Amino acid sequence: MSEPTTPTRNDGPAPRALTEQELSRLLSGQQFGVLASVRKTGHPHLSTVLYDWDAEERVLRVSSTADRLKVRRLRRDPHASLHVSGPDVWSFAVAEGEAEIVDPADGAAPGEKPLPDRRVTILLRVSRLYGTALEVPAQD
C-alpha cells in the first residue's frame, strides 16, 4: 500500500482576474456555455446551451422550447449563471443574474428573426461578471 501524498505548493503563476472588457470579449467570442439554474432542492441544474451576448445591454439570450426543464426551473426561481470556458483550461468567464422567460419576438436581438414552435427566449440580465486567466510563460 502506498503512503498518502501531501499536496505540494504550486510555485507557478497564479490566475489573475479578468477585466470587464476581457470578460465581455470572452463571452462574445464563444457560442456555447453551461447554464446553471436552481433545482427545488437548491442544487444546481446544468445545461449546455447556445447563447448570444449583448455587451451593451449586459444580457445573454438563449433560445429554448417552453417545455424544457431549464425553462420550468427558471420560471420558478430566476437565479442563474452561465459559465463559458476560455481558450485554455485555466481561463473562464461567469455571468450571474436573473433570468426572464419571454416570447421570442420580445427577446430577439435587433434584426433577429425568432423561431416558431413553442420557442421562448431566456434573457439573463447580468448583474455580475467574473472570471480568471492564467498566463503561463513560454518554456525555453
Q: Domain of 44: which CATH number?
A: 2.30.110.10
Query: What is the pTM for the complete model shown?
Result: 0.81
Is 74 a member of any domain?
Answer: yes
Is 78 a member of any domain?
Answer: yes
- In 3D, which of 69, 65, 60, 130 has the Cα closest to residue 100? 60
Residue 28: what residue type? Answer: S
Is 96 a member of any domain?
Answer: yes
Is 81 a member of any domain?
Answer: yes
**Total of domains in the chain:** 1
Does the pLDDT of residue 90 top 80, yes or no?
Answer: yes
Is 109 a member of any domain?
Answer: no
- In 3D, which of 83, 86, 85, 90 has the Cα closest to residue 10? 90
pLDDT at 65: 94
Is 53 a member of any domain?
Answer: yes
Does the pLDDT of residue 101 top 90, yes or no?
Answer: yes
| Reported confidence tier of residue 107, pLDDT bands at 50, 70, 90 | low
Strands annotated E in the chain = 16-17, 32-38, 44-54, 59-65, 79-85, 92-102, 119-133
> Per-residue pLDDT tens for 11-49?
777 889 999 999 999 999 999 999 999 999 999 999 999
- In 3D, which of 78, 66, 67 has the Cα closest to residue 104? 66
- CA atoms of 84 and 30, how far apart (whole Å): 7
Is 68 a member of any domain?
Answer: yes
Provide the residue range defining the domain that includes 66. 16-103+117-133
pLDDT at 134: 86
- CA atoms of 28 and 82, how far apart (whole Å): 13
Residue 123 CB partners (closer than 8 Å, separation 6+): 59, 60, 61, 99, 100, 101, 102, 107
Mean pLDDT of the chain: 88
